[in-house]
Amino acid sequence: MNKRILIIGGVVLALLVQIGLAWFFWSASEPAPEVADADGAAPGAPAEKAIYHNLRPPFVVTLPYGERQFMMQADLAVVAHQQAAVEAVIRHGPLIRARVITYLTDLDPERVQDKDGKQGILDGLTGVINDVLEDESEGVAVDSVLFNNLVMQ
């Protein structure tokens, strides 16, 4: 009988120690609430993360070059730090596609073949998309445009 009481007492004591330790660690790990500053952001809060949106289907255009013609397929994505900018790109997708196709068909095929030319194209596409968003009075802008894939034949 004494052994049974000692065993039960030991188990109860072990459970109480485990509960106490769990409470200690959980209460110590709760961060103190931060006070927001004037613009509503918490001090030291990281900036919004980048949001990527693929412009699908890929853009396919013909680039005339002297006697020859090149076909170019550009799979593009926009980068923004505001969800409203991505939503505006989706909302004005048909107009953006039309303006991007117009921009791409006016390219010089030699420009597409070097690194600086490709970066210039991406910068130009960012401007084209932001012009559409500005024309439509959205008040937002995309940060940049990226190539997911670029093929020219």
- Read off the tokens for 55: 């412009």
- Read off the tokens for 59: 């853009």
Residues forming beta bridges with residue 150, ordered by sequence position = 74
pLDDT in tens, 36-77: 444 455 444 455 799 999 999 999 999 988 899 999 999 999
Give 82's contacts (C-beta < 8 A, 6+ positions apart).
48, 51, 140
- pTM here? 0.69
pLDDT in tens, 94-143: 999 999 999 999 999 988 888 999 999 999 999 999 999 999 988 999 99
Cβ contact 73:150 at 8 Å: yes
Question: How many residues are given for the chain?
Answer: 153
List domains and CATH numbers for the chain.
51-152 (3.30.479.30)
Exposed/middle/buried for residue 80 (C-beta within 10 Å: 0-12, 13-18, 19+): buried
- Cα-flanking dihedrals φ and ψ of residue 151, to 5°? -130, 135
- Read off the tokens for 138: 């959205």
